Amino acid sequence: MKPVYTLDDLNSRKTLDAGADKPALLAVLGWPVAHSASPRMHQPALDAQGINARYIRLEVEPGQVAEAFTRMRALGFIGCNVTVPHKLDAMAACDDVHSEARLLGAVNTVSFDKDATRGFNTDGPGFARAIDDDFGVSLASLNVAIAGAGGGAGQAIATQCVLSGVGKLVLVNRSIAKLGPLAGRLAELGSATQITTLPFDAASLADQCRMCDLIVNTSSVGLKAGDPSILSAVCLKPEHLVYDTIYQPSVTPLLALAAGMGCRTSNGLSMLLHQGALAFQHWFPAADPKVVLAAMREGLA
């Protein structure tokens, strides 16, 4: 068994399953992928449900996603998760893309069904569940500010906010040029959400953030040691719920600042957990969601 497999390992089942007690039937595709926590939650869930399958990491070069899908289908894989940078390519490589994934502009979950390769996105719904689970409030009831809304995670979460029907959505990004097309797409969804776009140096940033209930960091600021908080203290108030999609480190500079001001905080581990649980449900609709969630939570702990 290997910590990371490649396309070459998909040439035959003999190679793929050498030294393993269960057949590899599920995978996470990424580039790089060695750091992925997905096997840590999916394998315990498979085992808890008594499913004879192995969940592996598969390193796939950019441009090779369609080829990987073809080989996985030929080997009888049930499905896969897709992570950075393949979520757009995965959408193109599916025969059938669920409407929500199309709206979110990315596929993170694939089902190799008999008649078609189907693509879903569980990142957005996973985020909504994480907010519900961590803070005990429905996303729909909140006004939301997203810092770093121009990146992949930011766009998915912004779209989910509109689909959930939040009243006010503040999109903040360093390069403001990325927000125009996003705001245009969100407006086309025809919801009543009031959308504001602004850069970090806007004079109104603090006021706009303080008008919101939930602050979300979807930027990569906070990943590296020495990074500053993506938002300064003037943007925060004690009543804020503050969510950072980063989970390594578990307490980012933003979360430390917010917790110090008395805000309730949470990190991206819960979004990882819930997107995974929703993906599992696509592959195994008859699985017990409570058992799956508990097994995944323990695997990630």
Mode of pairing for the β-strands spanning 96-97 and 144-147: unpaired
The C-alpha atoms of residue 54 and residue 16 are separated, in whole angstroms, by 11
Shortest distance, position 218 Cβ to ligand ATR, whole Å: 6
Which entry of 2, 14, 22, 87 is annotated as an active-site residue?
Answer: 87
The answer, yes or no, to whether the previous bond of 62 is cis (omega within 30 of 0) is no
The nearest distance, CB 151 to ligand ATR, in angstroms, is: 3
- 162 versus 296: smaller Cβ distance to ligand ATR: 162
Asked if 173 is part of the footprint of ligand ATR (rule: CB under 6 A), the reply reads yes
Q: Of 53 and 145, which CB lies nearer to ligand ATR in the complex structure?
A: 145
* Strands 117-120 vs 96-97: parallel, antiparallel or unpaired: parallel
φ/ψ of 218, rounded to 5, equals -115, 5
Which one, 68 or 221, has the nearer CB to ligand ATR?
Answer: 221
**Residue whose C-alpha is closest to residue 24's, from 34, 9, 37, 35:** 9
Among 191, 196, 220, 281, binds ligand ATR (CB under 6 A): 220
**What is the identity of the amino acid at 221?**
V
Tell me how far CA of residue 111 lies from CA of 27, 89, 196, 292, in angstroms: 11, 15, 36, 18
Q: Does 268 bind ligand ATR (CB under 6 A)?
A: no
Residue among 84, 88, 294, 300 that touches ligand ATR (CB under 6 A): 84
Given a contact cutoff of 8 angstroms between Cβ atoms, the answer to whether 150 and 173 are in contact is: yes
Q: How many residues bind ligand ATR (CB under 6 A)?
A: 14
Residues of this chain, 114-153, that bind ligand ATR according to CB under 6 A: 148, 150-153
Quick one: 78 or 215, whose CB is closer to ligand ATR?
215
User: Which distant-in-sequence residues (6+ apart) come within 8 Å of 197 by Cβ?
Assistant: 149, 170, 171, 172, 173, 176, 179, 180, 182, 183
Task: Tell me how far, at minimum, the Cβ of 190 lies from ligand ATR, in Å.
Answer: 25
Beta strand ranges found along 41-162 (DSSP E): 54-59, 79-82, 96-97, 109-112, 117-120, 144-147
Q: Is 221 in the site for ligand ATR (CB under 6 A)?
A: yes
Least distance (Å) between residue 228 CB and ligand ATR: 9
Active site residue 14: no
Active site members: 87
Binding residues for ligand ATR, rule: CB under 6 A, are: 84, 148, 150-154, 173-175, 178, 219-221
